[in-house]
Structure 1
Amino acid sequence: MKKWSKKVFSSSIVFILLIMLTSLAIPSLAMAQESERDFVISSDYTHIVIGKGTAVELDVKVTNLGKANEDVALSISGPTDWGARIERRWNKYEVRAVRLSSEEGANSVELRFKAKPPQETAKGDYLFTLEGATTDGRIQRSLDITITYKEEAVSEETEIIKLTSKNPSLEQPAGKEFEFEIELKNGFDEERIFDLAAQVPYRWAAYVTPRWEKEKRITATKVNANGTETIRLVLTPPFDVEKGDYSATLEARGGDDAGSIDLKATVTGTYMLKMGSEAEVLGTGETRNIKATAGKDKLVTIYLWNEGSAAISDIAFFSSKPKDWEVTFEPDKMPSLNPVTKEFKPDKVEVTIRPKSKAIPGDYTVTLTASGKEAREQLGLRVTVVTPMTWGWVGIGIVVVVIAALVGIFVRLGRR
């Protein structure tokens, strides 16, 4: 009995210890998982002073610091009559949620906080809180912005270093460079050398050249007292860039003083539909020269891919063929075809060709066409038609009969 009691007591102790260890391990595991997730909302300016009739526009950045992609919902708390909102920097859409990649260099989104005081606003400090939360609600972050409002207008100081461009927004198809012509003004009463630095999207390249010396690249330029100098900023997107709007900034710094200009590069999609035979794509299989039997199906595999930068939509297949031939495709349509840089493999299409049953042996041309909304491509096939073996035996039989008949005639004539 005592031994049994000791066993029960020992088992109870072990069970309690296991429960305690489990209760300690689970929170530790949860904390470890949470530590791999984080994001931050930031701005260079968190307390500003404005005067009567002045609207507020502040750049805000949301950055993913974790190891997983995150969807973050955004909101603002503060005075409701200021019309506070968060927008995209360029096209002014209101933003209420963002998707943040975990990949370094592509893990942040630049937004703009906007607010405007109503006409009868009293002077004082006004607090706005920008709040963000992951979709599961586990991670919440915020940024406080204080706006001090004065009833009198706040005088604006003249910019000593000023960068301007007649065309701060450019549009180019993927694969093309963006060239911004920028005027740099030196407001000092002395000659100055300004260091030039560009902030560009992830994997983009940038360089600056003098206006008339496009082959010369510079990192600084000298501007006369109260003078101006025109320079060129060239942006080169990566080869696999997606279509969309991209922002860049050029800064000119002279000592402790600096000026900058925000620029916009809009990449439009390129579409390049390609078709190839099995031999051209895989190195083995059918070429563009094929053999088919009259009246019988011939299966041919072709491949389709997109060498552009944007998806090609609504692709349908057609054929140009001799009269009474049949050509079918499987599939006969594609809703979209992504760039090969994303898919890393071409799409396969099975083509069935049936020459008419009474086709004369010889070479024929069949043209296959893939046509989408944005691009189209053709592939020509040379089809060599042969007759079925049954007709060959029939022909041999006819020849044998004719020869036999001739032999019989000669035999009869010889007897006479």
Structure 2
Amino acid sequence: MLKKFSLTHFCARLSFLSFFLFIFKASLALYAQNPVTNGNVHSDFTAKLINIEAATNETFRYYTTLHNGSGKPAVFEFKTSLPAGWMISYKIDGSQVTSINMTAGGTRDVSIEVNATANTAPGKYSIPVKAIANKDTLFLNLEAVVKGSYGIALTTPTGKLSEELTSGSHKEIHLEIKNSGTLPLKDIELSSQLPTNWEAAFEPAKITQLEPGKTQAVTANLKVPDKTIAGDYAATFTATNTNSNAQAAFRMVVTTSWISGWIGILVILLAVSLVYYLIRKYGRR
């Protein structure tokens, strides 16, 4: 009877030891999946997209999330290393910052904006971003893929930006649109800002595509209303597409036509002749 009791007691202890080992292994597995520091989940720094492609004159925007898992408040300072001439800014709720005060267990969205230089060669560039708090450093390796640049220029064949017109006349203004970037420009539209009642029609009215380095001639048919007062006027022509725009500001000098001038002279002569006639006829009485 005593021997049976000892075996039962031994089996119970063995079962307890097996259960303890099972709990210990489960704890180790849980720790491996969720590492902890001082009983708290690690902090992390993540991005929705780490690789963005854009032109050199566009902004690379990365939407990131910063989590403070240290179990106590911490101030995270942002630092990075960029190619020469590049610019970076960190924004939280639309405000630019260089660091952020995080509560224990807090999470904040951080927008990172990067601008390359205009002469940056196409290619892939690494942007290592750090969030540093005390002795903890969180790393986020972003990538910017530069694919070229958009550029547009609007001028005239001679570079002249002034014209002389007469009241009530039509005038053809010859313009040139040039793709000054390294990427094609699509759907370029022409528009104008003119004095009141002036009109302008463009030929062509829209350019479907303009390759880098190429130039497109455009004619602006300008109409000046009748009875426009002589003087200097300002007119602005604009070429626009979704990626770029350019303007050309003109000085328009309006003069009266020679016919109007001769009519004015004739009216004056007739008035003088009439006065002279009246004086001759009634002056002796």
Alignment partner of 1:268 is 2:147: yes
Specify whether residues 391 and 170 from structure 1 end up closer, same or farther in structure 2 by C-alpha distance, changes over 3 A only.
closer
2:176 is matched with which residue? 303
1:361 is matched with which residue? 230
Alignment partner of 1:335 is 2:214: no
Deviation (angstroms), 1:328? 0.9
1:277 is matched with which residue? 156
Amino acid corresponding to residue 305 of structure 1 in structure 2: K
Alignment partner of 1:403 is 2:269: no
Cα deviations by residue, 1:124-163 (Å, 9 ceiling, x for unpaired): xxxxxxxxxxxxxxxxxxxxxxxxxxxxxxxxxxxxxxxx
Deviation (angstroms), 1:402? 0.5
2:195 is matched with which residue? 322
Cα deviations by residue, 1:139-191 (Å, 9 ceiling, x for unpaired): xxxxxxxxxxxxxxxxxxxxxxxxxxxxx978674499xxxxxxxxxxxxxxx
Deviation (angstroms), 1:413? 4.4
Partner Cα separation in structure 2 for residue 319 and residue 175 of structure 1: 25
- Alignment check: 8 A CA contact 2:167 2:226 kept: yes
SS state of the match for residue 278, structure 1? coil
Partner Cα separation in structure 2 for residue 175 and residue 368 of structure 1: 23
| Aligned partner (choices 355, 364, 378) of residue 247 of structure 2 | 378
SS state of the match for residue 158, structure 2? helix
Alignment partner of 1:293 is 2:172: no
Specify whether residues 169 and 374 from structure 1 end up closer, same or farther in structure 2 by C-alpha distance, changes over 3 A only.
closer
SS state of the match for residue 219, structure 2? strand
Partner Cα separation in structure 1 for residue 206 and residue 53 of structure 2: 32
Amino acid corresponding to residue 255 of structure 2 in structure 1: V
Deviation (angstroms), 1:387? 2.1
Unaligned runs of 5+ in 2: 1-49, 59-80, 85-116, 127-142
Deviation (angstroms), 1:334? 0.4
Specify whether residues 329 and 278 from structure 1 end up closer, same or farther in structure 2 by C-alpha distance, changes over 3 A only.
same
Partner Cα separation in structure 2 for residue 335 and residue 240 of structure 1: 27
Query: Structure 1: which 4+ aligned runs deviate by more than 3 Å?
Result: 168-176, 237-241, 245-248
TM-score, normalization by structure 1: 0.35
SS state of the match for residue 228, structure 2? coil
User: Highest relative contact order (Cα 8 Å, sep 6+), 1 or 2?
Assistant: 2
Unaligned runs of 5+ in 1: 1-167, 177-210, 215-236, 249-263, 281-286
2:4 is matched with which residue? none
Specify whether residues 240 and 336 from structure 1 end up closer, same or farther in structure 2 by C-alpha distance, changes over 3 A only.
farther
